[in-house]
């Protein structure tokens, strides 16, 4: 049964070191099969911020954690226009990972990361036609019994926030990207960017979106939160469904909060009976 920790939006440079230490402690307690980090390692893509992010990665890898990461829009320089357009992810490659679209098979799960951060579509993200082919080809080679997990920084959907308006934008090329995801039988879509934790069935967010469960992580360590405290997700997958348990900062440590178990019925994910319905978790 694969167990994942899903971190996002660490934002070194606008981070709280106390939270970073608390995340590392929790990672050691959890001892998951894989730590996914869905982008925005830094606040402004500066060298010293990447150095701090790299030191964090080194520490958790030295502690024995397997990591899969993708870049976020904050890992592309915003104000350094020369670097932004000519070498937008050079520092990310040097300090975080040479691969912008990493793939790993771990504990029976097939996990692919796709870089959605671009110099031009800074906020909304982008999936290229080449990446859509990569999604199809990569998952076509994976075992059909393996859970298939796709990681991006930008969510592919505008997401509901309680009863209020949706947050964010529909990603460029969304329909084509969703076709590739549906064709590939992707089970879980993991993303960040909004600094809000949520879980939704893809079919409830867009037509033709396939059968994926859409899991958003909040920010784990940034001091710039949006109406909810820092958090990350524990994701447990077994033959009967997926359990998502938020790990929420309580002011002293990260503690397990709401836990939701989702079962697949036909091609849709539904909360198991008796589980609490929550597309947004209260802060």
Write the DSSP symbol of residue 107: T
How near is the Cβ of 1 to Fe ion at its closest, in Å? 30
Q: Collapse the DSSP code of 197 into the 3-class scheme (helix H, G, I; strand E, B; otherwise coil) and give the result.
A: coil
**Which CB, 103 or 122, lies closer to Fe ion?**
122
Q: Please choose, out of 28-36, 51-59, 88-96, 192-200, the segment that lies near Fe ion by the rule CB under 5 A.
A: 192-200
Give the Å distances, CA to CA, from 74 to 12, 118, 125, 199. Answer: 10, 10, 11, 23
Does 72 bind Fe ion (CB under 5 A)? Our answer is yes
Q: Please choose, out of 56-64, 68-76, 244-252, 268-276, the segment that lies near Fe ion by the rule CB under 5 A.
A: 68-76
How near is the Cβ of 191 to Fe ion at its closest, in Å? 9
By rule CB under 5 A, what count of residues binds Fe ion?
5
**Which CB, 153 or 234, lies closer to Fe ion?**
153
**Which CB, 125 or 210, lies closer to Fe ion?**
125
Does 40 bind Fe ion (CB under 5 A)? Our answer is yes
Question: Under the phi-then-psi rule, with left for phi > 0, alpha for psi from -120 to 50, and beta for the rest, what region is 244?
Answer: beta
Who contacts 205 (Cβ-Cβ below 8 Å, separation ≥6)? 157, 158, 159, 160, 214
How near is the Cβ of 144 to Fe ion at its closest, in Å? 33
Q: How far is residue 184's CA from residue 112's CA, in Å, rounded to a whole number?
A: 12
**Which CB, 40 or 201, lies closer to Fe ion?**
40
Does 193 bind Fe ion (CB under 5 A)? Our answer is yes
Does 155 bind Fe ion (CB under 5 A)? Our answer is no
10 Å CB burial of residue 69 (0-12, 13-18, 19+) is buried
**Which CB, 14 or 110, lies closer to Fe ion?**
14
Q: How many CB atoms lie within 10 A of CB 87?
A: 14
How near is the Cβ of 137 to Fe ion at its closest, in Å? 27
Q: Which of 42, 43, 49, 73 binds Fe ion (CB under 5 A)?
A: 73
Helix H segments across the chain?
Answer: 17-30, 47-62, 81-86, 90-95, 129-141, 174-183
Dump the DSSP string for 54-101.
HHHHHHHHHTT--EEEE--GGGS-SS-HHHHHHSTTHHHHHHT-S-SS
Q: Which of 5, 6, 9, 210 binds Fe ion (CB under 5 A)?
A: 9
Q: Please choose, out of 176-184, 191-199, 226-234, 236-244, the segment that lies near Fe ion by the rule CB under 5 A.
A: 191-199
Tell me which residues touch Fe ion (CB under 5 A). 9, 40, 72-73, 193
């Amino acid at each position: 049964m694969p167990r994942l920790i899903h971190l996002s939006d660490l934002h070194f440079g606008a981070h709280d070191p106390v939270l970073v230490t608390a995340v590392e402690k929790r990672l050691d307690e959890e001892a998951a099969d894989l730590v996914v980090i869905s982008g925005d390692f830094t606040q402004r893509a500066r060298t010293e911020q990447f150095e701090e992010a790299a030191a964090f990665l080194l520490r958790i890898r030295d502690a024995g954690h397997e990591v899969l990461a993708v870049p976020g829009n904050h890992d592309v320089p915003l104000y350094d226009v020369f670097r932004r357009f000519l070498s937008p992810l050079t520092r990310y490659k040097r300090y975080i990972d040479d691969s912008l679209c990493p793939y790993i098979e771990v504990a029976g799960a097939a996990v692919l990361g796709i870089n959605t951060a671009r110099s031009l579509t800074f906020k909304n993200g982008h999936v290229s036609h080449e990446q859509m082919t990569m999604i199809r080809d990569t998952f076509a080679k994976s075992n059909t019994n393996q859970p298939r997990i796709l990681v991006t920084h930008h969510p592919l959907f505008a997401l509901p926030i309680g009863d209020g308006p949706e947050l964010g934008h529909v990603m460029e090329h969304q329909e084509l990207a969703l076709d590739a995801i549906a064709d590939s039988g992707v089970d879980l879509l993991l993303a960040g960017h909004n600094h809000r934790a949520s879980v939704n069935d893809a079919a409830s967010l867009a037509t033709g979106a396939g059968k994926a469960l859409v899991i958003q992580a909040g920010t784990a360590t940034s001091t710039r939160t949006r109406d909810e405290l820092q958090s990350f997700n524990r994701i447990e997958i077994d033959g009967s469904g997926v359990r998502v348990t938020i790990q929420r900062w309580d002011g002293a440590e990260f503690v397990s909060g709401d836990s939701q178990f989702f079962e697949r019925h036909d091609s849709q994910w539904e909360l198991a009976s008796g589980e609490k319905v929550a597309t947004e978790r209260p802060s």
